[in-house]
Chain A
């Protein structure tokens, strides 16, 4: 079967760094996406990885290891507006996105 695992909830302090992990087992791999979803809103695209390594985009970075079926999203200099759910999604051999349940990130002042 296909499976995406993420922690359900994480708490971090404003100004700190947090790493959200995602492990996956899917039928094929054609890329991994991270999306941000604020409560009551639609998901919005954050990052895409298809090759091993780190992709940096401002305060956000995403890492991929295909051999380990593992990715993480790194958020630096946390701000209160970063309080949201972070969704990991893997594109399988049919180019369909398989979604994790999301990690709810709570930022405390």
Chain B
């Protein structure tokens, strides 16, 4: 089992460019999440999904869009990148949303720099 994988691992964008981050999980998890992690701050939830075909906004959704066309994949899109979106992006998945089995499994992260 690969667990949760993310591509790419690193990316540098110019302001205004667009890109898509891909997250894949092979654990048959229903729930998937996209977070950003910035120095001195906790992980912040961007968007999440509670099942195939569903998405919902998290704490910091502005400037991002997501899609979950297949249960195993969760895509994060930046339509017009801004320097404020420079961050480390983590994808995570969980079997359910609550309780001890709500444990989230994280991908290795994507380090994005917007110049």
Is A70 on the interface with B (CB-CB < 8 A)? no
Size of interface on A: residues with Cβ below 8 Å to B: 23
> B99: which A residues are within 8 A, CB to CB?
30-31, 50
Measured CB to CB, the nearest residue on chain B to A101 is: B42
Contact A87 B43 (CB under 8 A): yes
Contact B103 A48 (CB under 8 A): yes
Q: Which of A87, A97, A101 has the most CB of B within 10 A?
A: A97
> A43: which B residues are within 8 A, CB to CB?
43, 90, 106
Chain B 90-115 interface residues, beta-carbon cutoff 8 Å to A: 90, 97-100, 102-109
Is B58 on the interface with A (CB-CB < 8 A)? yes
User: What is the bound-complex CA distance between A93 and B3, given in angstroms?
Assistant: 28
User: What is the bound-complex CA distance between A102 and B98, given in angstroms?
Assistant: 22
**A67 CB, nearest partner CB in chain B, Å:** 21
> A45: which B residues are within 8 A, CB to CB?
103-105
User: What is the bound-complex CA distance between A97 and B104, given in angstroms?
Assistant: 10
**A57 CB, nearest partner CB in chain B, Å:** 12
Contact B42 A99 (CB under 8 A): yes
Contact B90 A99 (CB under 8 A): no
Chain A 39-94 interface residues, beta-carbon cutoff 8 Å to B: 41-45, 48, 50, 87, 89, 91
Contact A42 B109, CB 8 Å, known A96-B58, A101-B42: yes
Contact A87 B42, CB 8 Å, known A42-B90, A96-B58: yes
Contact A98 B106 (CB under 8 A): no
Contact B100 A91 (CB under 8 A): no
Measured CB to CB, the nearest residue on chain B to A8 is: B40
Is B41 on the interface with A (CB-CB < 8 A)? yes
Residues of B within 8 A of A (CB): 40-45, 48, 58-59, 90, 97-100, 102-109
Given contacts A43-B90, A48-B103, A50-B99, 20 further A-B contacts (CB under 8 A): A4-B42, A30-B99, A31-B99, A33-B103, A41-B109, A42-B106, A42-B107, A43-B43, A43-B106, A45-B103, A45-B104, A50-B100, A87-B42, A89-B42, A89-B43, A95-B97, A97-B104, A98-B42, A100-B42, A102-B42
